Amino acid sequence: MERIPILKMGPFLLVTIQIDLYDRLALNLEEDLVKMVEKTASKGVLIDISALSIVDSFMGRILGNIASMSRLLDAQTVVVGMQPAVAITLVELGLPLNGVYTALNMEKGMYLLKSMMDFNGTQQEDGDHSFD
């Protein structure tokens, strides 16, 4: 497989990672995702990793990269469905995924993104005079 599908759902994008990412696949995913965020003006990216029983340092770095890139394009990233064993491994590896939001499952992740959108919307209305 060369590309991981990115699904558009309303204002959000959804990615399910089911296999270990190798270099090429990870680079393609990063590229596809930023292009898609820009094209669809998405406000959030949901990454489901419930199928992964192992997350190594490479994968951890990719998740961090995706979150940082999306943030620059005004989209928040939420990683959902992490298995407890993965959380243990990540912390033991010294990769606590700083800067990446997490949620227990897809529905909770979507709720988190929606509340972030609402919060930002309210702030913009109250605060500066933006043109959108």
HEC string for 90-107: HHHCCCCCCCCEEECCHH
Closer of 16 and 89 to its own copies (Cβ): 16
Closest residue by Cα to residue 46 from 3, 86, 89, 75: 75
8 touching its own copies, by CB under 8 A: yes
> Which one of the spans 29-37, 61-69, 105-113, 122-130 is the region binding its own copies (CB under 8 A)?
105-113
Closest residue by Cα to residue 45 from 17, 79, 22: 79
CA dist., res. 31 & res. 35, Å (int): 6
Q: Pick from 42, 45, 48, 90: which binds its own copies (CB under 8 A)?
A: 48
106 touching its own copies, by CB under 8 A: yes
Binding region for its own copies (CB under 8 A): 1, 3-5, 7-10, 14, 16, 18-19, 48, 50-51, 81, 105-107, 110
